[in-house]
Amino acid sequence: MADTYKRLILEGIGGPWRMDEAEIPTPGVGQILVKMKVSSICNQTDLNTIRGYHPPHDYQIQMMVPHDMRKYRGAVPDELSDVYPSRDYPFNPYPTTMGHEGMGEIVAIGPMPEPVQKFAHPHGRLMDLTPTFKVGDRVGLTGTIGGFGEYVLTVPEECVLIPDTLTDEQASLTEPVMVVSGVIKQCVRQDDDVLILGQGALGLIATQLAKLYGARRIITTEPVAFKRELSKKFGADIVLDPNETNIVHAIEEITNGRGMPVIIECAGVPDTIRMIPYLAEYQCRVGQIGACCEPVLTDWSYIHFKGMRITCQMQGNLVGTTPGHSGKRAVKLMERMDLDSLITHRLDFTVEATEQIFKEIEEKADVIKAIYTFK
């Protein structure tokens, strides 16, 4: 194989993008080298990284959080700056590699340390901790850094074996399905009524999964007509347009004032999050999926007054299980989902195509999932 590979680099807030050529790495102890086949764009987090709101993923894993980005881009003082931690984040987050979703083929495996074969499950069950792979395996990547590139260096815990029943394009959505399924599994029970705020890629995945987990009635909200139609196709019983309808009043009418027992927030914007206390039924289970990076004015006290339980994607994937186990569960669900309808754009792996697709995403065009395919 060639000695070098291409990868996209984001130089700073707003760009520019640069196509970098780097030496193909040799996997070290505990590492796996994956030749990428398909990489997908995460509309919200990737766009917000370009805008300087979301920490780049290779810095997020080093504990960078949204207020660090506000300080970095000079968006202080703001209404919260007097309570920010005093210590500044020690690294410059740009330039950064991009891409944390996708799939590929294992081409090399480094020496593996002695695996930890079992660990104690909170409910007394023993589970395998270290997944095993071989060269030639097709794997979905679950949060791996640098997916906008022809090769990725990763670890077994971030790989999920892909069966022949899934195409490469379908398998590129392993990570988003995994993170959404962790929330849905915690929040949705048989015969629940479920409200899903937002029908972008994650919201549409949540709609399909809520149906698979046995929801009785699914209500969704979405301002884009094309996405509202997909929402109906994927199982939504009622689809509301927030540009035409007061969502709180509509839910009040639909539920005769009780509110919703399950709310899944997938839009990741303040306008949807601030409504949640008034949409919630007493003892409501709230799943937070959208990656909002802006401060939100909300009635926090309703967690107390209504006894709301709030969970998020990281809890669903890391508590009482392993990433590999969550990934296996996601793959089983993916075999029962319509993933092809989510892929709306197929891109050339170029700077020009990258700049154009993010312009379309920012302008609220009909982009659900855009993917790069590597030769």
Q: Which CATH number characterizes residue 129's domain? A: 3.90.180.10
Query: What pLDDT is attached to residue 318?
Result: 43
Cα–Cα distance for residue pair 45/293, rounded to 1 Å? 9
Query: What pLDDT is attached to residue 316?
Result: 46
DSSP annotation of 216 reads S
What would the mean pLDDT of 119-144 be, rounded to a whole number? Answer: 73
56 and 139 within one domain: yes
Q: Do the bridges between strand 159-161 and strand 138-142 make them parallel or antiparallel, or are there none, so unpaired?
A: antiparallel
pLDDT higher than 60, residue 320: no
Query: What pLDDT is attached to residue 321?
Result: 42
Q: What is the pTM of this model?
A: 0.93
**Measuring CA to CA, which residue among 118, 115, 168, 117 is closest to residue 141?**
168
Cα–Cα distance for residue pair 251/238, rounded to 1 Å? 10
Contact 7, 145 (CB under 8 A): no
Q: Which residue is listed with tokens 């796996």?
A: 32
Cα–Cα distance for residue pair 356/23, rounded to 1 Å? 27
What would the mean pLDDT of 271-292 be, rounded to a whole number? Answer: 97
Query: What pLDDT is attached to residue 117?
Result: 47
Print the domain residue range for 242: 177-318
| Residue 286 backbone phi and psi in degrees, to 5 | -110, 130
Average pLDDT score, the chain:
92
Reported confidence tier of residue 121, pLDDT bands at 50, 70, 90: low
Cα–Cα distance for residue pair 60/58, rounded to 1 Å? 6
Q: Does a structural domain hold residue 325?
A: no
pLDDT higher than 70, residue 194: yes
355 and 206 within one domain: no
What would the mean pLDDT of 132-138 be, rounded to a whole number? Answer: 94
Number of structural domains (the chain) is: 2
If one compares 326 and 284, the residue with the highest pLDDT of the two is: 284
**Measuring CA to CA, which residue among 120, 60, 58, 65 is closest to residue 95?**
58
Query: What pLDDT is attached to residue 157?
Result: 87
200 and 124 within one domain: no
Contact 238, 220 (CB under 8 A): yes
163 and 103 within one domain: yes
pLDDT higher than 70, residue 129: no
DSSP annotation of 115 reads P
Cα–Cα distance for residue pair 94/97, rounded to 1 Å? 9
69 and 92 within one domain: yes
